[in-house]
Amino acid sequence: MTDTVAPADTAALEVDDLHLSYVVRGIPRAVLRGVSFSIAPGEAYGLVGESGCGKSTTAYAAVRYLPGNASIDGGRILVDGEDVIEMPYRRLQEIRSSHASMVYQDPVQAMNPALKIGRQIAECYRILGHAKAEAGDLALESLRRVHIADASSVMDRYPHQLSGGMLQRVVIAMALVGDPRLLILDEPTTGLDATVEAEVLDLVRELRTTTNAAILLIAHNLGVIRTMCDRVGVMYAGKVVEEGDAQRVFDSPEHPYTVGLLNAIPRQGLRKTDRPLFTIPGTLPQIGAELPTCVYVDRCPIADDLCRTEVPPVVSLGEQQWARCHHVEQTEQIDVPTSGIDARELDDEPVVELTGLSKTFRQRGTDIPALVGVDLGIAEGETVGLVGESGSGKSTLAKTLLGIHEPDEGGEITLDGREVRANATDRVTDSIRAMQMVFQNPDSALNRMWSVRRILRRSVTKLTDLRGEAADRRVEEIAVAMRLSPRHLDMRPRQLSGGLKQRVAIARAFAGDPRLVVCDEPTSALDVSVQAAILNLLANLQAEDRTSYLFISHDIGVVRYLADRIAVMYVGRLVELAPTDELFSGPVHPYTEALMSAVPSVDGSVRDRIPLTGEIPSPADPPPGCVFHTRCHRFIPGTCDVIEPPTIQITPRHSMACHLPVEELGRAPS
């Protein structure tokens, strides 16, 4: 991705010592503390960092699109050499329409739900002065440019009729209307599936070469930045702390924060048995905090007195890489935790077993089989990772197992060999206590009006036989086990950060020593360093209590780190089940192959991506034969679209549903 860019005189975007603050309750609080970087014409520049570090504020400031309480306290922002801060509003509008455009995080919110797609794009052309009929033609042309399937029919559709990936293409098409020289992408693929994300990123890459626009890409996913950008800036607490060539920064980070971030991610095939993930202690300083010297000093493992007394210099590291740190030569010495949890042999006898589990939803008279004949056993102390695109039935499986949805007749759920009732509310106390859940969004999972103590105490009294003082003691015990301070117990969820909230949610699930905990994307709403702490916690709890996990995640790296076996779902069916090692080494189902190849890697290992075109089929109308044949790159006409594939056993613990011979699957696709 590193097309060398001819240095031009004027940068597409130059941010110079930008200071910005938000006025909160009458007090200005510093958010950006001297951000400087510049993007050459045609260059792709990435900004990474945890949420709250000022990435998005920087992006919005570049086009002076800021909330009313923001005030720019110093510095310059030049778009194509023109000062954005000083320019009159009229000129700013021109800049926004023809020089620098923006693609937002959530395409659904970026579109007007009441207007047809065609009209919304045409409106952009009308603003640029095109006549009505001409604008319509240009709109259609712009949709073709972003490779939307069936562009002319998309023109007549409303935003809610398009999928997230298609909508993001439309938003990109709109951003390109004025042939901008700078394209600002703020987390453009965050809400999308890995497979869709890969396609959108391909599109951005292609448009970059055809339009030669410079790109400012904001993302918290380091893999996305690595595959997309020439240069990267690492932001922390409103300052760029390290900058350089993307490959170099990720391969040999020099600032302790960059090192911390990269070590927090489960990468390079890391497993829980290898080592715990690196966590960055403490929290991001709040906006407006006094940070007179190094911004990272409070969390830095190698900080010393010098760091506390003097502003760190910008240390050049050659080839345009630099870091703001006193001790760049010591970053090699930052300790990475070494010993992982002990690998243990897992029983063959499952704690929880699902046999022929199906779930059909009825909607307006039509049957929607969301889950079709799933067989799965989970052993004591085992983590089964569940992966698949959204809409593949992962959450339905979890909720049916837990008794939130009632399964169809014929399926069976057993716990320790005994069948359990379909509905959670009908289950005997022991079954209720045995199976608990950790949800994706801790804001929704915790009652906002309850204190942490009340949340935990209620679970303790419902899920154990402890009462009175014994229950109070147990509440404090589990709080400590989750690394929550006893003082947190009297707070409301709103007062806690995302990571602490998720700890409370985990504490609640573990209140009654459950046999199985279903984790539904427990870290997807969290920053990587917080994610690392939560994953370590889950791994340790499991090692101590031999609890089993059904771990749902869209992040293959996370699943690989934590799971002993991985189950792959597609349109409500389990298409593959394999031990984690085998899944990443051996022959795999074509769907698994495509899914894994879509993940942008922060390690920079180049993989040939197997395109997964089109949308996941609706479970209401599954394709005949193998459900995957419509998108399969190894499709055998006459077989796959007619006969449902049998489940074949590749090794004793590795099964998949595919017609292809195993030898064929091991080979690279033709």
Nearer to another protein, 122 or 517 (CB): 517
Instruction: State the minimum distance, in angstroms, from the CB of residue 430 to another protein.
Output: 11
Instruction: State the minimum distance, in angstroms, from the CB of residue 322 to another protein.
Output: 25
Contact between 71 and another protein per CB under 8 A: no
Among 459, 523, 630, 655, binds another protein (CB under 8 A): 459
Instruction: State the minimum distance, in angstroms, from the CB of residue 413 to another protein.
Output: 14
Give the sign of the dihedral formed by CA 618, CA 623, CA 625, CA 626: negative
Number of chain positions touching another protein (CB under 8 A):
73
Residue 48 · residue 232 · CB < 8 Å: yes
Distance CA 656, CA 532 (A): 31
Strand partners, 535: none
Residues 6+ apart with CB under 8 A from 197: 189, 224, 598, 600
Residues 398-417 interacting with another protein (rule: CB under 8 A): 402-404
Strands 418-419 and 366-379: unpaired
Nearer to another protein, 105 or 360 (CB): 105
Residue 335 · residue 279 · CB < 8 Å: no
Distance CA 437, CA 522 (A): 10
Residues 28-67 interacting with another protein (rule: CB under 8 A): 29, 31, 51-57, 59-60, 66-67
Tokens of residue 15, six digits: 């941010």
Contact between 69 and another protein per CB under 8 A: yes
Contact between 445 and another protein per CB under 8 A: yes
Instruction: State the minimum distance, in angstroms, from the CB of residue 297 to another protein.
Output: 14
Tokens of residue 63, six digits: 């086009």
Instruction: State the minimum distance, in angstroms, from the CB of residue 115 to another protein.
Output: 20
Sketch the per residue contact string, 101 through 120, with another protein: x for CB under 8 A, - otherwise: ---xxx--x-----------
238 burial via Cβ count (<10 Å: 0-12, 13-18, 19+): buried
Among 447, 613, 618, 651, binds another protein (CB under 8 A): 447
Among 74, 115, 152, 281, binds another protein (CB under 8 A): 281
Residue 505 · residue 438 · CB < 8 Å: yes
Amino acid at position 107, single letter: P
23 burial via Cβ count (<10 Å: 0-12, 13-18, 19+): middle
Nearer to another protein, 67 or 417 (CB): 67
Instruction: State the minimum distance, in angstroms, from the CB of residue 483 to another protein.
Output: 6
Nearer to another protein, 22 or 45 (CB): 22
Nearer to another protein, 533 or 610 (CB): 533
CA dihedral 517, 521, 522, 523 (to 10 degrees): 150
Residues 284-313 interacting with another protein (rule: CB under 8 A): 286-288
Nearer to another protein, 321 or 523 (CB): 523
Strands 314-316 and 366-379: unpaired
Among 444, 613, 618, 651, binds another protein (CB under 8 A): 444
106 burial via Cβ count (<10 Å: 0-12, 13-18, 19+): middle
Secondary structure E strands in 381-440: 383-387, 412-415, 418-419, 435-438
Instruction: State the minimum distance, in angstroms, from the CB of residue 447 to another protein.
Output: 4
Q: Which stretch binds another protein (CB under 8 A): 22-30, 261-269, 549-557, 599-607?
A: 22-30
Among 70, 172, 616, 627, binds another protein (CB under 8 A): 70
- For residue 670, the tally of other CB atoms under 10 A from its CB is 6
Instruction: State the minimum distance, in angstroms, from the CB of residue 257 to another protein.
Output: 15
Alpha helices in 99-245 (DSSP H): 107-110, 117-127, 132-145, 151-155, 164-175, 194-211, 222-228
Instruction: State the minimum distance, in angstroms, from the CB of residue 637 to another protein.
Output: 44
Instruction: State the minimum distance, in angstroms, from the CB of residue 651 to another protein.
Output: 35
Instruction: State the minimum distance, in angstroms, from the CB of residue 590 to another protein.
Output: 34
Nearer to another protein, 338 or 425 (CB): 425
Residue written as token pair 């459950």: 514
Instruction: State the minimum distance, in angstroms, from the CB of residue 323 to another protein.
Output: 23
Nearer to another protein, 257 or 570 (CB): 257
What angle is formed at CA 398 by the lines to CA 393 and CA 403, rounded to 5 degrees?
Answer: 120
Instruction: State the minimum distance, in angstroms, from the CB of residue 166 to another protein.
Output: 21
Q: Which stretch binds another protein (CB under 8 A): 319-327, 448-456, 589-597, 628-636?
A: 448-456
Nearer to another protein, 304 or 426 (CB): 426
Sketch the per residue contact string, 334 through 353, with another protein: x for CB under 8 A, - otherwise: --------------------
- For residue 143, the tally of other CB atoms under 10 A from its CB is 24
Distance CA 194, CA 198 (A): 6
Among 203, 217, 376, 432, binds another protein (CB under 8 A): 432
Looking from the CA of 536 toward its CB, the CA atoms found within 13 Å total 23
Instruction: State the minimum distance, in angstroms, from the CB of residue 537 to another protein.
Output: 10
Selection from 390, 347, 393 nearest residue 374 by Cα: 393
Residues 6+ apart with CB under 8 A from 316: 322
Sketch the per residue contact string, 552 through 591, with another protein: x for CB under 8 A, - otherwise: ----------------------------------------
Nearer to another protein, 286 or 366 (CB): 286
Residues 516-545 interacting with another protein (rule: CB under 8 A): 530, 533
What angle do the packed helices 256-264 and 528-545 form, to 10 degrees?
Answer: 40
Residues 463-502 interacting with another protein (rule: CB under 8 A): 463, 483-485, 487-488, 490-492, 494-497, 499-500
If DSSP codes are grouped into helix, strand and coil, which group holds residue 379?
strand
Instruction: State the minimum distance, in angstroms, from the CB of residue 575 to another protein.
Output: 27
Distance CA 542, CA 382 (A): 8
Distance CA 164, CA 289 (A): 37
Contact between 462 and another protein per CB under 8 A: yes
Residues 164-203 interacting with another protein (rule: CB under 8 A): 186-187
The residue length of the chain stands at 670
Nearer to another protein, 282 or 410 (CB): 282
Nearer to another protein, 450 or 584 (CB): 450
What angle is formed at CA 512 by the lines to CA 563 and CA 385, rounded to 5 degrees?
Answer: 15
Nearer to another protein, 67 or 88 (CB): 67
If DSSP codes are grouped into helix, strand and coil, which group holds residue 635?
coil
- For residue 276, the tally of other CB atoms under 10 A from its CB is 21
